[in-house]
Amino acid sequence: MSRILAKESTLVEMLGVSDRRVREVCKDFKVDTGKYLLIESVSHYIKTLKDEGKQEIANLRRADTELKEFRLKVLKNEYVPIDQIELAITDMQIRTKSKAMSIASEASSDVLGKTSRKEIELIIQKYVNEFLEEMANFNFGGGENEI
């Protein structure tokens, strides 16, 4: 193959790319400052475009597959919209606060008249344990104790 040389500016004009892109893609075919092997540089640029195109197609197919999988999961109700989650968490926070605040009034009648610190502590502990168990069994599905 004959060695036809082209200036960087000629390759820029022929390929319709920036001088930086020419330097990047054709660096292996540079023979002197600003001079490249013409045929090899153009061939390599075309191959690079094909490879980049194939990669882009693969990326698009992968993204399309992921989107289809996501849509399928949405249709199967495997995903919940964020506003429903925010509503459920807010409701749970309100219920938790309300239940925690009621412990004192509920326990007060049971501790009334008790003089033993240990006995009072056990009564309060009973109410706290009931509260914690109720919170542990909290269900986000709807209905009694549920969202």
Alpha-carbon dihedral sign for residues 18, 32, 6, 2:
negative
Task: Say which residue the tokens 């309300």 belong to.
Answer: 98
**pLDDT number for residue 141:** 55
pLDDT 10s digits, 55-73: 999 999 999 999 999 999 8
**Shared-domain flag, residues 16 and 55:** yes
53, with CB counted inside 10 A (0-12, 13-18, 19+), is: exposed
Give pTM, 2 decimals: 0.49
**pLDDT number for residue 47:** 96
**pLDDT number for residue 140:** 59
**Shared-domain flag, residues 58 and 12:** yes
* Segments of the chain with pLDDT less than 50: 143-147
The H helix count followed by the E strand count for the chain is 5, 3
Structure tokens at 34: 């600003």
**pLDDT number for residue 106:** 87
42, part of any domain: yes
**pLDDT number for residue 80:** 78
Other beta carbons within 10 Å of 68: 10
How far, in Å, CA of 128 to CA of 123, rounded?
A: 9
Which structural domain range is residue 127 located in? 82-136
Given 50, 74, 98, the domain boundary residue is 74
**Shared-domain flag, residues 61 and 86:** no
Is there a contact between 147 and 91 (Cβ–Cβ < 8 Å)? yes
145, part of any domain: no
